[in-house]
């Protein structure tokens, strides 16, 4: 082969290589195109759950209680099941007044040891656990002595006299009271005046004796007003 032939052969081989290379590039491009991923097919819409769950809806409690609540009856507690009395603090020292006694309209007079029977003594017709002789302070626990007719009021009956603010107890006989009750059932109470051992007491007795009848209370409860002033003491008479 001549030089020109060999040159043409080399040129032809180069051209063939170029063609082969071009084909290879084309094939590679075709292969590359074939390997491209298919476009995504649109699918059904999917809603992604929120990252934080919504808080449950709550109903606020009413700010105030209902205007009318159902009533329930509390069980009654008897005194036996209540707290012991010793555990309860006392708020008052004076006893509470109970039910009122019976009003009684009567004549009232006074006597003392000076004009007692026998004179100058403090003897009583009905000695008892409370008093062995006439006396007392006029309180509910220690009433003063009174004399009357046992048919009018029973021995041991308590009497409260508002005019002198003192309690008395029937434990002595009164001669004039017995006569008046027997004649016409005239009520008469004779109240004992302590510390009256001489004639000076008689002026106080007349001073405290009211005109006509007054109303007293038979079987009074504790708690009535009591004056600490004696009916008669050292020549001085009770003045309220």
Q: Is 90 exceeded by the pLDDT of residue 95?
A: no
Instruction: Report the alpha-carbon distance of residue 35 to residue 29 in Å, rounded.
Output: 10
Kindly give the pairing relationship between strand 213-218 and strand 158-161. Answer: antiparallel
pLDDT, tens digit (0-9, with 9 covering 90-100), for 154-208:
999 999 999 999 999 999 999 999 999 999 999 999 999 998 988 999 999 999 9
The fraction of the chain above a pLDDT of 90, given in percent, is 55
Instruction: Report the alpha-carbon distance of residue 205 to residue 208 in Å, rounded.
Output: 5
Between 212 and 27, the more confident residue is 212
Residue 33: in which H helix or E strand, if any? helix 3-34
Instruction: Grade residue 110 by pLDDT with cuts at 50, 70 and 90.
Output: very high
Q: Is 60 exceeded by the pLDDT of residue 121?
A: yes
> What pLDDT shows up at residue 238?
95
State whether residue 188 is helix, strand or coil: strand
> What pLDDT shows up at residue 64?
43
The answer for residues whose C-beta is within 8 angstroms of residue 219's C-beta and 6 or more apart is: 101, 102, 157, 158
Q: Is 90 exceeded by the pLDDT of residue 83?
A: no
For the chain, give the mean pLDDT.
75
The pTM of this model reads: 0.60
> What pLDDT shows up at residue 6?
53
Q: 233, 196 in Cβ contact below 8 A? A: no
Q: Is 60 exceeded by the pLDDT of residue 132?
A: yes
Q: Where are the domains of the chain?
A: 102-237
The answer for residues whose C-beta is within 8 angstroms of residue 31's C-beta and 6 or more apart is: none
Instruction: Report the alpha-carbon distance of residue 61 to residue 233 in Å, rounded.
Output: 75
Longest Cα–Cα distance in the chain? 196
Instruction: Grade residue 98 by pLDDT with cuts at 50, 70 and 90.
Output: low
pLDDT, tens digit (0-9, with 9 covering 90-100), for 26-80:
444 443 334 444 444 444 444 444 444 444 444 444 444 444 444 333 333 333 3
CA 171 vs. chain centroid, Å, equals 42
> What pLDDT shows up at residue 171?
98
> What is the mean pLDDT of the segment spanning 139-153?
97
> What pLDDT shows up at residue 82?
38
Under CATH, which number does the domain 102-237 receive?
Answer: 2.40.40
């Amino acid at each position: 082969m001549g030089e020109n032939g060999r040159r043409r052969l080399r040129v032809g081989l180069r051209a063939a290589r170029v063609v082969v290379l071009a084909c290879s590039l084309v094939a590679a491009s075709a292969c590359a195109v074939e390997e491209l991923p298919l476009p995504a097919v649109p699918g059904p819409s999917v809603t992604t759950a929120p990252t934080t769950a919504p808080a449950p809806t709550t109903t606020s409690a009413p700010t105030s209680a209902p205007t009318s609540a159902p009533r329930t009856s509390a069980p009654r507690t008897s005194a036996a099941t209540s707290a012991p009395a010793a555990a309860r603090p006392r708020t008052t020292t004076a006893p509470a007044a109970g039910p009122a006694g019976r009003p009684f309209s009567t004549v009232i007079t006074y006597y003392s040891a000076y004009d007692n029977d026998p004179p100058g003594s403090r003897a009583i017709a009905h000695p008892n656990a409370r008093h062995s002789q006439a006396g007392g302070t006029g309180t509910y626990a220690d009433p003063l002595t009174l004399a009357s007719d046992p048919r009018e009021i029973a021995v041991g009956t308590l009497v409260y006299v508002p005019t002198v603010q003192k309690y008395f107890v029937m434990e002595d006989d009164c001669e004039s009271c017995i006569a008046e009750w027997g004649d016409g059932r005239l009520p008469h109470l004779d109240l004992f005046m302590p510390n009256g051992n001489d004639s000076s007491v008689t002026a106080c007795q007349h001073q405290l004796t009211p005109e006509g009848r007054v109303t007293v209370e038979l079987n009074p409860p504790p708690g009535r007003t009591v004056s600490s002033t004696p009916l008669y003491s050292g020549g001085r008479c009770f003045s309220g």
